Structure 1
Amino acid sequence: MTWRGAALLALAIPAPALAQAYQCTPPQRFDPVRPIQPDGPPRRVPIAGYTLAASWSPEYCRRPQDKASMQCSGANGRFGFVLHGLWPEAGSGPPPQWCSLTPRPSAQVIRRNLCMTPVPWLLEHEWAKHGSCMAKTPETYYRAAGALWRSLRWPDADRLSRQDGLTAGDLRRAFVERNPDWKLEQIGVLASDTGWLREVHLCYGRDFMPAACDRQSFGPPDSATLKIWRGL
């Protein structure tokens, strides 16, 4: 099945979108999300493409202050790659942002997407900062993000982490092996200053088809050394 066919199928099926989870059970209740406060001015500019940002959860969970969260505690699941967000991009200059803070996503909508993005406040933040510039409602935004997410097959990062001499290119090639419609230049890698994997950024054109990343989104070259924290 092609990428486009997989995405259309995912749009047609009202299934929950899951992270790369070993298991996940969304909580019946969670603390109410406080209204999001913008960290910058509204910016309404034409959309030229999109970035789907996937965080490597074990790296995030290394921080002691996050150990009790749903994403890190293990009480609701153990996660690999999780969706950070779907971001509209501008052709040049800063991307669109903070187009609207309303309508706010309901608790039911947030819970439905917690196995894809296991951080309640982040789901609302991503809608308000990014999604409101590309969709009229949170439901539509999460449906689009979920369709793209379900169309992807993630490489086994645990196995890659044990590979001697691992590079950013090895991760990109492992992703292409699982997703043959993609090319190396369409896969961005975000690493810490010390070379630990933080995120994978997948670049799309305005038509939601894979597209070459710009230099900033692409990140380190294929030859750059990469480390992946397994969370052990």
Structure 2
Amino acid sequence: MIFVILFLILCGICNGAPNVCRLPPRWKTNYDFDYSKQQHEWATPNSKTDYYMLVLSWSPSFCKHLPSTKRNHTFQCQYDDFGLVVHGLWAQSRRARTLRQHPRNCRNSEALPLTTIKRHFCMMPDESLIQAEWEKHGTCGFRTAEEYLNTIEKLFTALKIPDMQQLLRDKRMDQYKLKKAFIEKNPSLRSNNMIIYMKGTDLIDIKICYDLKLKYTNCQRK
């Protein structure tokens, strides 16, 4: 057991991870993303980025709601190691009235080096997710993937996260109580800086909004 813990710590350190997590025994070799080949993707490169939305996913709920065939082949769902993880950082427009009017897929990009994927895997535990989020959202607000992912890491590590396991054991938990818990840990955070989505008692995601200087700002629901 001690050997396993030391191994995980060393893996995390070697890959420069901001925190330690279990790593895949084999890494994906094909994780590139091309929005033009995706059925439900689109490009709005001319939409102005006014603010950013950090999207956090509660891994147990994500895995619970996946079809079993997909869940069994999704690394983060094989163990109970992952809790609140990053889905992405989305460029947003205050002029948008529909989802399709926000900045998206602003330019095509080559597959990221595996070293970059490994560096951020504990924060975003899927190779394809990291690549897709960079191309779909990062290209609309950042010059490089490194700048995009480092910004996510900065925001995520600066956020003080309450004890999610304890909070979610309360079957009466709702978005308002979760917001209160986050605000207590992060006094400069306000209720209108957050959007929390729950499906019944399952936490699905938490969205936190930042202005272009990476200060908290009001979220727009469209």
**Counterpart in the other structure of 1:9:** none
Distance 1:32 1:42, change over 3 A: farther
Query: Are residue 68 (structure 1) and residue 50 (structure 2) matched?
Result: no
Q: TM-score, normalised by structure 1?
A: 0.78
The one-letter code of the counterpart of 1:83 is V
Tell me the distance in 2 between the aligned counterparts of 1:164 and 1:111.
36
- Taking a change above 3 Å as real, the CA distance of residues 164 and 191 of structure 1, as seen in their structure-2 partners, is closer
Match of 2:130 among 119, 123, 134: 123
Shift of 1:36: 1.0
TM-score w.r.t. the length of structure 2 is 0.81
State yes or no: 1:104 paired with 2:111: yes
Q: List per-residue Cα deviations over 1:164-195 (Å, max 9, x = no partner).
A: 53221100000111111211121111223x45
1:35 Cα shift? Answer: 2.6
Cα drift, residue 15 of structure 1:
5.3
| Alignment-derived partner of residue 167 in structure 1 | 174
Contact 1:44 1:133 in 2 (8 A): no
Give the equivalent residue in structure 1 for 2:95: 92
Residue 56 of structure 1 aligns with an amino acid whose one-letter code is W
Gap regions ≥5 residues in structure 2: 1-14, 36-40
Q: Does the alignment pair 1:40 with 2:42?
A: yes
Aligned counterparts of 2:93 and 2:122: Cα–Cα separation in 1:
29
Per-residue deviation at 1:159?
Answer: 0.9
The amino acid of 1:45's aligned partner reads S
Q: Give how far 1:28 is off.
A: 5.9
Counterpart-to-counterpart distance in 2, 1:137 and 1:165 = 43
State the match for 1:223 in structure 2. none
Partner residue in 2 for 1:196: 202
Residue-by-residue CA offset, 1:44-76 (whole Å, 9 max, x unaligned):
2221100000000000111322133221112xx
Q: Which runs of 4+ in 1 moved over 4 A?
A: none
**Per-residue deviation, 1:130:** 0.4
Deviation at 1:83, TM superposition (A): 0.2
Q: Secondary structure at the match of 2:81?
A: strand
Q: Kindly, what percent of the aligned residue pairs are identical?
A: 27
Tell me whether 156-165 or 90-99 shows the greater mean CA deviation.
Answer: 156-165
Q: Which moved more, 1:140-149 or 1:95-104?
A: 95-104
Quick check: 2:94–2:220 contact (8 Å CA) kept in 1? no
| Cα distance in structure 2, aligned partners of 1:33 and 1:142 | 20
2:22 alignment counterpart:
25
Gaps spanning 5+ residues in structure 1: where?
1-13, 217-232
Q: Is the 8 A contact 1:103 1:138 kept in 2?
A: no
Question: What SS does structure 2 have at the residue aligned with 1:24?
Answer: coil
The 1:73/1:182 distance shift into structure 2, 3 A limit, reads: same
Q: Decide which structure has greater helix share.
A: 2
CA distance in 2, matches of 1:166, 1:27: 33
Q: CA deviation at 1:91?
A: 2.0
The residue type equivalent to 1:207 in the other structure is: K
